[in-house]
Copies of this chain bind each other. A is one copy, B any other.
Amino acid sequence: MGPVSYESQDIRTKRIPFGEYLFKKLVQSGSKSIFGVPGDYNLPLLEHLYDDSVKDIGCRWIACCNELNAAYAADGYSRYTNKLATLITTYGVGELSAINGVAGSSAENVKVLHIVGVVKSDAPECNYHHLIPQLQHSNFIGPNRKICYDMVKDRVACSAEYLEDIETAPEKVDKVITEIYKHSKPGYLFVPADFADKLVDTTCLNNEINLCNSIERTPSEKLDSIVDGVLQWIYQSQTPAILADGNVDRFGLISQLNQFIERTQMVNFTTIMGKSIIDETNPRYQGLYAGKSCTDLVRSKFLSCDLILHFGVEKNEVNYCAQGFPYGPQAKVIEFHQSYIRLFDTLNGDEQLFENVNFVDVLTALHQRIDISKLNLQYDKAIFTTYEPSQLNLPEEDTSDVTQIYLQKKFPEILAPGDILVSDTGSFQFGVRDYKLPTQSKFMAQSTWLSIGMGLPAALGVGIGMQDYPRIHICDQSKVPAGYKPKLVLGVGDGAAQMTVQELTTMLRYHVDINVFVWNNNGYTIERAIMGENSDYNDIMPWRWTKLFEAFGDFDGKYSNSSLVKTRQELDQKIEDINKGGKGIELVEVKLGVMDYPAQLQMMLSNMKNAKK
C-alpha cells in the first residue's frame, strides 16, 4: 500500500460528539457498566448513553440510589474485574457525596474514574447552584468553579483534569485513564455540560488503554541487575517464603504469582490485604501472616523462614505498619512494590533500594530466568504442614445459637471453587482471615480505609462486574466446572447495612444474583469491641430485615427470598439450600450476640493499642 493520503486520514479521524467518544473510550478501557446518579450538569453527557454506537458496544448505565453508594459500587466493580470502573456524578452535591467512596479507592489502590458534570465552559462567572463558596480568611472571595478539583487533586485523585479545551479533551481523558492504570488509584475528569455534544477527533480511540500498556517499564539493564540480586538470595535460601500482598491483584499478577509458587514449590503466606490472591488449596499454603495479629502457629512458621519474598507490598497500619511486622532474626526480605524493589537483611541491616521500578517486570523476568535446579529448599515438613483451619483449635461451644466461632467453622462451606465473598467493614471480616478458601475464589473487603457501609453497594458492583465479565477472576478455568456460574456472597453487619441499605433495590433492578447475610448483632459490635460496650451511641434501631425486599420492589417475592436464622441448625439448612441453588437474591438475617466478635479482631485491637503506647 502506498502512503496514506490526506483524504483517507480525514476519514480515519472523523469527528464525533465528545459524549459518544467518552463512552466508547470507557468501554474500551474496561467500564462496560457506568455507575452514578443523574444531575443537571451531567444530563447532556448521559444522553449519549443512547447513541447507537454506544449501545452497540454494550455500554449500560447502573442507576444507584445515591452517589456514595455508586462510588462503592464502582469500587467493587474494579476490585472484581481489575479494570477501570467509572462513576458519573454532578457538580458539588453529587461529587462530594461520592468522595468518601473514591477516597477508599485511593487508600486501597482501586481503579475508579470519577467523572463530574460541571458548568458549561462558556458560562460567565456566577455563584452557580451546587458550587461551594470559595473563602479566604473566612470571607467569600468570589466563585471558583474549580474548587472541587482543587480539593481532590493529589488527595483522592492520582490524576485529575478539569476539561477546558474541547480539542485536547480526548487526550486528557486518555491521560487520566492511563494514570489510573499506572498507579492503580482513582482519577477525576471534570466535564463541562456543553462538551458532551461538541465534536472531537477520534484518533485516540485507536489506542486501547489497559493495565499492561500503562505501567512504566523498567529498563532492561536495571531489571537484569535487580533480578540477579533477587536470584542470588533465592538460591542461597533454604527456607524461602512467598508473601502475597494486595497489590499483586491490583497489578494483574495473581496468575503469574500462583504459577511461580507452583514452579518453585516455595511455602507461601498471604497478608490481610492479600487474602485470596494465593490459591489456598496449594499444599504449601501456610495461612495469613499479620505480624503480631495472626495465630501463633502461622507466625512461628513465618519467623522460621530465612527469606521473605513480599510481593505487592502495602504498608499501612492494619496490613503492616503500626501493629509490628516482625521477620525471623536472620531473615532476608525482598519487597516487590509497584514503584520500588527493596532488598534488606535483618541480620546486618544491609539494604539495597531500587526506585522507579515496577515489580510487574521483575516478577516476569524472575519467572523467565529462575533455574529451578539451583533452588536449595530444605523445609522441615513437620513444621510446614498443609494449612488447615482445624489448626486454629476453635473451642467447642455448648449452645445452639449461631456464634462467630460457629460461623468460622461452618460458613466456608457456602463457598465453592470460583465463588466470591464480599465483607463489609465489621467484625465478620476478621474471621475470614483464617478461612481456607476454595481454589479460584475471591475475597473482597477493605483493609485500611475500613468504611462501614461499603460492603452492600460494593457487592452490587461486583455483581454487575460478574454480569459484564463472567468468571474473569478465575485464573485457572479448568479448576471450576465449565457450566458453573460462580456465587456471590455478601456478609454485612446490621449497623453497616443500615448505612447503605437502599442499594438492595438496585440489585433487584439489575437482577444481580446474590446471597446477602445480615449479621444482626444489634448495633456496631466492632465499635463496642473498642469502646462503649453499653453506650447507646453504639445501638441502632432493630429492623425487620426480611420485610425489606417487599418494600424495595419485589412485591410478590418473585426474585428474592428473605429468611431469618436464629440457630445453627437453621444456618446449616440455609447454607445447604443456597448451595443447591436459591432464588436470584437470598437475604438471610442471622442473629448473633451483641458482644460476640472474632478473636482475630480482639488480637488486632490489643496489638494496635500496644503499638501506640
Which residues of A are at the interface with B, using a C-beta cutoff of 8 A?
38-40, 43-44, 46-47, 49-50, 61, 63, 65-68, 92-93, 96-97, 99-100, 103-104, 106-107, 120, 123-124, 126-139, 147, 150-151, 154-159, 179, 182-183, 185, 315-318, 321-322, 339, 448-453, 498-502, 505-506, 508-509, 524, 527, 530-532, 535-545, 547-548, 550-553, 555, 612
Contact B138 A38 (CB under 8 A): no
Contact B551 A317 (CB under 8 A): no
Contact A551 B541 (CB under 8 A): no
Contact A544 B551 (CB under 8 A): yes
Closest-CB distance, A160 to chain B (whole angstroms): 10
With contacts A47-B532, A498-B502, A502-B502 taken as known, whether A106 is within 8 angstroms of B92 at the C-beta atoms is no
By a CB distance below 8 angstroms, the chain B residues around A104 are 93
Closest-CB distance, A59 to chain B (whole angstroms): 12
Contact A553 B543 (CB under 8 A): yes
Contact B158 A132 (CB under 8 A): no
Alpha-carbon gap, A129 to B151, bound state (A): 20
Contact B103 A96 (CB under 8 A): yes
Contact A65 B155 (CB under 8 A): no
Closest-CB distance, A330 to chain B (whole angstroms): 27
Closest 4 CB pairs of A and B: A96-B100, A547-B551, A43-B531, A93-B451
Contact B129 A448 (CB under 8 A): yes
With contacts A43-B531, A133-B106 taken as known, whether A541 is within 8 angstroms of B506 at the C-beta atoms is yes
Contact B107 A133 (CB under 8 A): yes
Nearest B-chain residue to A46, judged by Cβ:
B537
Contact A126 B317 (CB under 8 A): yes
By a CB distance below 8 angstroms, the chain B residues around A505 are 498, 541, 543
Contact A50 B139 (CB under 8 A): no
**Count of this chain's copies in the oligomeric assembly:** 2
Contact B100 A535 (CB under 8 A): no
A-B contact pairs, 6 of them (CB 8 A): A38-B537, A40-B527, A49-B535, A106-B133, A128-B317, A138-B179
With contacts A97-B68, A321-B127 taken as known, whether A530 is within 8 angstroms of B43 at the C-beta atoms is yes
Task: Give 9 A-B pairs besides A93-B104, A134-B155, A150-B155 with Cβ atoms closer than 8 angstroms.
Answer: A40-B527, A92-B449, A96-B100, A106-B133, A126-B316, A132-B156, A506-B541, A541-B552, A543-B552
By a CB distance below 8 angstroms, the chain B residues around A158 are 135, 138
By a CB distance below 8 angstroms, the chain B residues around A527 are 38-40, 43
Contact A154 B126 (CB under 8 A): no
Contact A103 B99 (CB under 8 A): no
Alpha-carbon gap, A124 to B613, bound state (A): 10
With contacts A156-B132, A321-B126 taken as known, whether A509 is within 8 angstroms of B97 at the C-beta atoms is no
By a CB distance below 8 angstroms, the chain B residues around A137 are 154
**Out of B103, B129, B159, B543, which one reaches A138, CB within 8 Å?**
B159
Contact B316 A46 (CB under 8 A): no
By a CB distance below 8 angstroms, the chain B residues around A150 are 155
Nearest B-chain residue to A109, judged by Cβ:
B133
Alpha-carbon gap, A317 to B123, bound state (A): 12
Nearest B-chain residue to A144, judged by Cβ:
B155
Alpha-carbon gap, A134 to B547, bound state (A): 43
Alpha-carbon gap, A612 to B127, bound state (A): 13
Nearest B-chain residue to A95, judged by Cβ:
B100
Alpha-carbon gap, A155 to B44, bound state (A): 28
Nearest B-chain residue to A530, judged by Cβ:
B40
Contact B508 A541 (CB under 8 A): yes
Contact B498 A65 (CB under 8 A): yes
By a CB distance below 8 angstroms, the chain B residues around A155 are 132, 134-135, 147, 150-151
